[in-house]
Structure formats: structure tokens, C-alpha cells
Amino acid sequence: AQSVAQPEDQVNVAEGNPLTVKCTYSVSGNPYLFWYVQYPNRGLQFLLKYITGDNLVKGSYGFEAEFNKSQTSFHLKKPSALVSDSALYFCALRPDYKLSFGAGTTVTVRA
Amino acid sequence: NAGVTQTPKFQVLKTGQSMTLQCAQDMNHEYMSWYRQDPGMGLRLIHYSVGAGITDQGEVPNGYNVSRSTTEDFPLRLLSAAPSQTSVYFCASSYSQLSNQPQHFGDGTRLSIL
């Protein structure tokens, strides 16, 4: 079975501190992994993806993600969080033509 | 750039009513899909289409129909609305069905069924 999990429902950090949102996956074959962000009353916006190559992927708004095959993880990171980063974050796996989402992690960055 | 446009943004229905949620994209994308978003469950795939005239079921297709007569449009039909279908519905598209393509999402339709 192919699946993706986000072990934390909520992440709270202070502005300026590092932000990490965790994601683990299970798939047979090549893992095509994505991160999306959702702001209130909006659709999902694409942040970054891992297809192949470098394990550190850089994306939009200063976010990056580290692919770790041995730990089957794809954690999203930002070195210095902003209040405007407060949103709902989804990790997603696309082993074929279907996209499977994690349950989402709500990030709150306090000033 | 319009991207993916969904209408209506909000809708309230009574149990048993039918309605169609509209989705249109202007990016000439071949792949389109419908998801529902429920708290704590992420997004679940309802139906998808890899091109005009081709549709298939996703994870939670019961109670929904789709058609794809043109590349641009991918409407979702609720045949007989039930309270369990209260949700936020998102339409998404990508250039192709290839796994490395990110999807572009509309802003959603918030549907309440009484």
C-alpha cells in the first residue's frame, strides 16, 4: 500500500526560529513527493517537489525539503519562520496518476 | 492568469437535491481531478480525468458523477445530496498525468447539505 503520513497535527514556533514540518511515506517504486500550502479559504498552492537527484530540494517562499530514503521521510523546513507562514501544510505522494495526501499540519508562527 | 476556476464558491442544499459543481481551467492541462477536504483527513480523490472523454474513479466516488467533454471543463455532479457530502470540494489540474507534475488547485466550493 502507498501512503503518506504527517505525524504532527500542529506545529507552533516563534517568528525567526527554524520551522520543520514532518512527513513520512510508504511506496513501492520511485517516490514522487510534493509539499503544498493552504491559506484560509484558498486552494492548495504548490511549494516544492522531489522527483530524483539532490536530496535537498528548494522551493517557494524560502522553503526547502530534505528527502531521506533510508528513513522514508520528506520533511519540510524553513530556516527562519515568518508570521505569514502560518497556514495548513500538506505532504503528498504521487506514485502514479493519483495524488495521495497526508492529513495536514497546521503551522502557527507567533510574533 | 485565471488558472483553475470553480463555481459556485458556496452552496447550501437540502438532502436529496442535485447540483453540479463547475470547474474550468485555461492552461490546456490534460489531467483534471476532484477532491473533497474534510477536517483531519486531508484531501481525498473523488474522480479524475486524463483527457477529454476519459474519466475514472478515485478513492471516494460514490454519490458523484463526472464528465469531460472538453479539455477545459470538468464538472462534478451530486446526484442526490446527503449530509455526508458536506465538505469543501477542490478541482485540480496538471499538464499531464505523469507523476512528476504538480497540480494546480482552484479555491474550492464550500458545500453544506442540510
Hey, is the C-beta of A5 within 8 angstroms of any chain B C-beta?
A: no
pLDDT of residue B1: 65
Q: What is the pLDDT of residues A51-109, one digit of tens each?
A: 888 899 999 999 999 999 999 999 999 999 999 999 999 999 987 777 889 999 999 99
C-alpha to C-alpha distance for A55 and B57, rounded to whole angstroms: 33
| Chain A neighbors of B92, CB-CB under 8 A | 43-44, 99
| 3-class secondary structure, A95 | coil
pLDDT level of residue A28 (50, 70, 90 thresholds): confident
| Chain A neighbors of B44, CB-CB under 8 A | 101
C-alpha to C-alpha distance for B101 and B82, rounded to whole angstroms: 34
pLDDT of residue A102: 93
pLDDT of residue A30: 78
Select the residue from B43, B89, B95, B105 to test the A interface by mutation, using most A Cβ atoms within 10 A: B43
Hey, is the C-beta of B102 within 8 angstroms of any chain A C-beta?
A: yes
pLDDT of residue A87: 97
Is B45 in contact with A98 (Cβ distance < 8 A)? yes
pLDDT of residue A20: 98
pLDDT level of residue A11 (50, 70, 90 thresholds): very high
Is A49 in contact with B42 (Cβ distance < 8 A)? no
C-alpha to C-alpha distance for B58 and B75, rounded to whole angstroms: 15
The tens place of each residue's pLDDT in chain B, 114 residues long, gives: 679 999 999 999 999 999 999 999 999 999 999 999 998 888 999 999 999 999 999 999 999 999 999 999 999 999 999 999 999 999 999 988 776 788 899 999 999 999
Taking residues A15-41, report their average pLDDT.
Answer: 93
pLDDT of residue B99: 66
pLDDT of residue B92: 95
Phi/psi region, residue A71 (left: phi>0; alpha: psi -120 to 50; beta: rest), is alpha
pLDDT of residue A29: 80
- Beta strands A105-110 and A10-14 are parallel
